[in-house]
Every structure is written in C-alpha cells, then in structure tokens.
Amino acid sequence: MPTPDPSEVVTMLNRLTADLPAAQEQASQVAAQIAEATFEGTAADGRISATVTGLGVVTKVRIGELARRGMDNLTLGEAVTEAVRAGEAVGRKALRDRMAELAIGGRALSEYAPFGRD
C-alpha cells in the first residue's frame, strides 16, 4: 500500500472538518423529516396494514373485514404485530438511505459507516 502524501492527508482532513457543520445540519434535517413522516407495513397478504411514524408511533391499524372474519384472534394479533414491525422497518430503511446520501469531504456517508445493517 503506497504511503499517502502528507499534504494530501492534510487537505483531506481540512475538507472533512469544513464539511462537518453542514453535514450535521443536513443530518438533523433528515432526522426531523423522517420523524414526521409516516410509513406503512402490511401483513396477511395486505389484508392488515399499520401506519407508523419515523419515531415508531403507530397512528393507524387497518384490519380488513375479511381478515377479521377469517382469522382467529391469536393469528390476527400476530398479523398486526407483523404489520407494525414491517412499518418500522420501512421507516428505518428510509432513514438509513437518506443518511447514506449525505456527503462529507466529497464522499457519501455510506462510505464511512455501515448503513447496510438493520
């Protein structure tokens, strides 16, 4: 591995330092937008859905009439749980994707941090 040119390292570090305040501001904005946004998850082939905010607050659970009549109480509860978890997962993915787009020092944040994990 070639030894990096010290002047290039200094330039890169200066660029990182200069970009940090703007990146912090952008990250705060993204987090606030995601917190207010709503995400939907479904279960039981779409017969049950849950709407969840980016903060994880469940604002709506929709249970189809066919699901209510056709499922037993325990299975229905499990399906509601699954729909809520799916909604939360969509919200987490949206936050990861938006954060990964942010750039510091001319490189996407995803190049510095493991945004792929759940």
Partner 1 sequence: MTNEFDALRDLLDREGRAANPSAFRRMAEAATALHDQLTRELSQTVGGADPTGYVQATVRLDGGVESVYISPHALRQFDAAGLGRACVSALAAARQASSETLAERLGERFGIRPGEYTNADLARIDRLAVY
Q: Which residues bind partner 1 (CB under 8 A)?
A: 56-65, 67-68, 72-74, 76-78, 80-81, 84-85, 88
In terms of CB distance, is 14 or 81 closer to partner 1? 81
To 10 degrees, the CA torsion angle through 10, 16, 21, 23? 170
Contact, 106 vs 100, CB < 8 A?
A: no
In terms of CB distance, is 5 or 118 closer to partner 1? 118
In terms of CB distance, is 84 or 102 closer to partner 1? 84
34, β-bridge pairs: none
Give the angle subtended at the CA of 95 by the CAs of 50 and 25, to the nearest 5°: 135
Smallest gap, in angstroms, from Cβ of residue 81 to partner 1?
A: 5
Smallest gap, in angstroms, from Cβ of residue 17 to partner 1?
A: 18
Smallest gap, in angstroms, from Cβ of residue 57 to partner 1?
A: 7
Contact, 52 vs 84, CB < 8 A?
A: yes
In terms of CB distance, is 11 or 56 closer to partner 1? 56
Smallest gap, in angstroms, from Cβ of residue 16 to partner 1?
A: 18
Contact, 15 vs 106, CB < 8 A?
A: yes
